[in-house]
Copies of this chain bind each other. A is one copy, B any other.
Amino acid sequence: MNIITHTTPPYYAVIFTSIKTDSKNYFTVANAVLEEAKKQDGFLGVESVRDEIGISVSYWKDLSSIEAWKNNTLHKNAQQFAKEFYSHFRVRVCKVEKEYGF
């Protein structure tokens, strides 16, 4: 996993924070969702780390690509497992206004 350093505002970020259950199906579904996300129009990249909590930030060209991804069939099927996979989760849709770093 690398960090994403080649984006230029304005664009969008979806911050997904979660606490997992010990469901055994999680990794198969999560991996399928990630691979599908990478194929979407407007997808710019993803950064993801898990320890006690998980934080995944995906970057998108605009709100309409996020909306299309939310309604993607594979993604919608996976969303039905939310209560099996997570004891808590939070999705935040954000407009990236400023960015710097090296």
Pick out which of these stretches binds chain B: A21-29, A33-41, A43-51: A43-51
Cβ < 8 Å to B, chain A residues 59-88? 82-83, 86, 88
State in angstroms the CA–CA spacing of A102 and B21 once bound together.
13
Beyond the given pairs A3-B19, A17-B47, A89-B101, 16 more chain A to chain B contacts, judged by CB atoms under 8 angstroms and listed by A's residue number, are A1-B53, A3-B18, A13-B13, A13-B15, A15-B96, A48-B55, A49-B52, A49-B54, A82-B102, A83-B102, A86-B102, A89-B102, A90-B101, A92-B99, A93-B99, A95-B97
A residues adjacent to B (C-beta < 8 A): 1-5, 9, 13, 15, 17-19, 47-55, 57, 82-83, 86, 88-102
